[in-house]
Chains A and B, each alone.
Chain A
Amino acid sequence: MQKNGPIALAFHTLVVAFVLAPLLVICLVAFTPENTLSIPTTSFSLRWFREIFVHPDFVASFVNSLWLATLSATIAIALAVPAGLAIDRYDFPGRDGLNALFLSPLIIPHLVLGVAFLRLFALIGATGSFTWLVVSHVIIVTPYVLRLVLAALSGMDRSAEQAAMTLGASHWTVFRRVTAPMILPGITGGWLLAFINSFDELTMSIFVTSPATVTLPVRMYMYATESIDPMMAAVSALMIALTAGAMLVLDRAFGLDKILVGQK
């Protein structure tokens, strides 16, 4: 590994600072005792965190978003792994078409998707249905998962699968015992990416959620259009803490670099 020169080091520091500074500011603002978005100077207060819990709609939206993201990421994996295997391993008519179809939501603006789903849901009478909200999220997060699964598949040594087969394993056993563990970094990375994408998706969700299925980002957006108070900062701070916590747990359990980069 090459050592970073002073300019590169300064550059990296600046990038990290730019990325982290807003998060840090938000987290600080969350502890303000004032009624305005201000950085606390003299005293810290938890009043805005308490405020969240007197808004049960926020809690409900949070739970809703959590379910939505978990379900859509998991379903996306269930779709992307077989699709990835087919695209990577077999040469069949329509292979490129399938690949393009799966990846196309990446290039369609969420605004357009939102309007389209709004129309579709109205037509089929699915407005306000949580199931169809999940469907719409699956569609937008599957490309991310598929990309990571495909990358993992093309990077793996196929002869390990052949070895397993010659040792007596059936196709399913080969997948379960060899292929899946070997592409696990791609699968986990894909799941995380899908989860995060679904969890903070706003543009499309504004169109497709109904009062019963409002997601957290949509709830925050609606709230922020009416009033700006430090409770937004408190919600954000909680989300940051939650994400960081999840990462920490994952890292402790599996090792993040192993999951996301692949074992070396």
Chain B
Amino acid sequence: MGFLTLASLSKVYGDHAAVRDVDLSVAKGEFVSLLGPSGCGKTTTLQMIAGLVEPTRGTITLDGRDITHEKPNTRGLGIVFQSYALFPHMTVAQNVAFGLEMRKVARAERDKRVKTMLGLVHLAQLADRYPRQLSGGQRQRVAIARALVIVPPVLLLDEPLSNLDAKLREEMQFELRRIQQSVGTTTIMVTHDQAEALSISDRVVVMEQGRMTQIDAPYRLYEHPATAFISSFVGKMNRLDGVWRGQGPSGTAQINGVSLPCEQASFPDGQTVALSLRPEKILLRAHGQGRVDGTIVNRFFLGSYWLFTVETPVGALSVSVPNHGEEPAGEGDAVALDWTPASLRVEAITATAGAAA
């Protein structure tokens, strides 16, 4: 039994199910991300946990206690809103002290805890500023401090980094993880940014149209996406349609008559299949020395790696190659592509999807 458990949690608005039968068990101290595209029900799920949205069905259990119908002000959870929702008429210190004041913590104790918390988020010098005098990243840290100072059993974060610019977002990801680890609070973060979810979570929950479709550790999610949607949503992925030739396990996947070595699989002859291969699992070789030949049509330099688009008889493939400090092959060059068979994944395409392909 987890520390925080959601069982068949659902929310229906009129005839639209925003969240459907979500089951999730979060362990104490764990950092879990809810990942999914906009409108898939992440915020609704989080707000049900917080008590700000009444669930249509299902239960929420915290540390063995059923909190499904408890008021938000008695749940004691810490929440960081997407807009940060700071109190504009209070200083940073007053914002952070608010939750302690509600708990009737004595003045001296309160000041001490606010000070410690502001130190933790590196805002000690800005204690007397008003939110409007702070940058986006500073506001976000005030929001985190305000939520954490009450020592909540669970910290809920709704897209806490989405209002920050790219560089700051990356810094704050790790900052967030550092803070979470130093206080050890069980954390659930909502995000639509897969890189963010993968980099700082213990586990990632993928949501699609109100449902949870996969719950896994980040690397497992990346290596073994459960659905076609997840494989394209999480990281870059080459996806090609092919057919299975030959009977059962002795057969191979083919596209336009070219056989492509792939993972162990078994399909009936003539089955249409979807092939997926990560760009970084493909190696660039000299022409004629790989599994398929091709021509480089595009080359992008991305700092730590190069990204190529290679036109081949089986279709255009993205290939990423780490930057070793030398200039690699350029546009128009003839090359060959190689990969280990296990990294090429094969899935049967259902009849309707196959007909469209």
Bound complex: CA of A182 vs CA of B131, how far in Å? 13
Contacting residues, chain B, for A157 (C-beta < 8 A): 83, 85
B75: A residues at CB distance < 8 A: 166
Please choose the segment from A81-89, A130-138, A146-154, A168-176 that sits at the chain B interface, where 4 or more of its residues have CB less than 8 A away.
Answer: A168-176
Q: Out of B73, B82, B83, B146, name the residue touching A165 (CB < 8 Å).
A: B73
Chain B residues whose C-beta falls within 8 Å of the C-beta of A170 in the assembled complex: 73
A261 CB, min distance to chain B CBs, angstroms: 14
CB <8 Å contact, A167 and B81? no
Q: Which residue of B lies closest to A170 (CB)?
A: B73
Q: What's the least CB distance linking B290 to chain A, in Å?
A: 54
> Which residue in B51, B89, B103 is a CB contact (below 8 Å) of A166?
B51
How many residues does chain A have at the interface if contact means C-beta atoms less than 8 Å apart? Answer: 20
The smallest C-beta distance from A68 to any residue of chain B, in angstroms, reads 32
- Contact present for B87 and A168 (CB under 8 Å): no
Cβ–Cβ contact A182 & B89, under 8 A? yes
Complex Cα gap A157–B82 (Å): 11
How far is the CB of B352 from the nearest CB of chain A, in Å?
Answer: 42
Question: Does B98 reach chain A (CB closer than 8 Å)?
Answer: yes
CA distance A159 to B75 in the complex (A): 17
Contacts of A173 in B (CB 8 A): 102
CB within 8 Å for A168 and B150 given contacts A159-B81, A163-B81: yes
Residues of B within 8 A of A252 (CB): none
CB B291 to nearest CB in A, in angstroms, measures 53
Q: Are B87 and A164 in contact (CB under 8 A)?
A: yes
Q: Does B297 count as interface, using CB distance less than 8 angstroms?
A: no
Hey, which chain A residues are within 8 Å of B85, CB to CB? 157, 159-160, 162-163
Chain A residues near B50: list those with CB within 8 A. 162, 166
Greatest chain A CB density within 10 A among B50, B76, B83, B85 is at B85
B87 touches A166 (CB 8 A): no
Instruction: Let me know if A167 and B88 touch, CB within 8 A.
Output: no
CB–CB B73/A160 < 8 A:
no
The winner among A162, A168, A170 for most chain B CB atoms within 10 A is: A168
Contact with B along A36-62 (1 / 0, CB 8 A): 000000000000000000000000000
A168 to chain B, nearest CB (A): 4
* Nearest A residue to B95, CB-CB: A163
Q: Please tell me if B78 contacts chain A, counting CB pairs below 8 Å.
A: yes
Query: Which of B79, B86, B132 is in CB contact (< 8 Å) with A264?
Result: B132
Q: Are A167 and B132 in contact (CB under 8 A)?
A: no
Q: Chain A contact residues: over half helix, strand or loop, or mixed?
A: helix
A13 at the interface (CB under 8 A from B): no
Which residues of chain B are within 8 angstroms of A264 by Cβ–Cβ distance? 132
Of residues 81 through 106 on chain B, the ones whose CB sits less than 8 Å from some CB of chain A are 81-83, 85-89, 98-99, 102-103
Contacts of B51 in A (CB 8 A): 166
**Structural contact, A160 and B72, CB atoms closer than 8 A:** no
Q: Which residues of B contact A160 (CB under 8 A)?
A: 85-88
Is B342 interfacial (CB 8 A cutoff)?
A: no
User: Which residue in A165, A169, A181 is a CB contact (below 8 Å) of B89?
Assistant: A181
In the complex, which of the residues B89, B99, B150 has the most CB atoms of chain A within 10 Å of its own CB atom?
B89
Contact A166 B132 (CB under 8 A): no
Please name the residue on chain A nearest to B152 by beta carbon. Answer: A166
Given contacts A162-B72, A169-B73, contact A263 B83 (CB under 8 A): no
Kindly state the separation between the CA atoms of A159 and B98 in the bound complex, as whole angstroms.
Answer: 15
User: Is A126 at the interface (CB under 8 A from chain B)?
Assistant: no
Chain A residues near B121 (CB-CB < 8 A):
none
The reply to whether A178 and B103 contact each other, CB–CB distance below 8 Å, is no
Pairs of residues from A and B, 8 with the lowest C-beta to C-beta distance, nearest first: A168-B102, A167-B99, A159-B85, A163-B85, A181-B89, A159-B81, A160-B85, A166-B79
- 9 new A-B contacts, CB < 8 A, other than A157-B83, A167-B150, are A160-B86, A165-B71, A166-B73, A166-B78, A167-B146, A173-B102, A181-B87, A181-B89, A264-B132
Can you list 25 A-B pairs with a CB-CB distance of less than 8 A? Answer: A157-B83, A157-B85, A159-B81, A159-B85, A160-B88, A162-B79, A163-B81, A163-B86, A164-B87, A165-B52, A166-B52, A166-B77, A166-B79, A167-B99, A167-B102, A168-B76, A168-B103, A170-B73, A173-B102, A177-B87, A181-B87, A182-B87, A182-B89, A263-B132, A264-B132
Q: Measuring CB to CB, which residues of chain A are less than 8 angstroms from any residue of chain B?
A: 157, 159-160, 162-170, 173, 177-178, 181-182, 184, 263-264
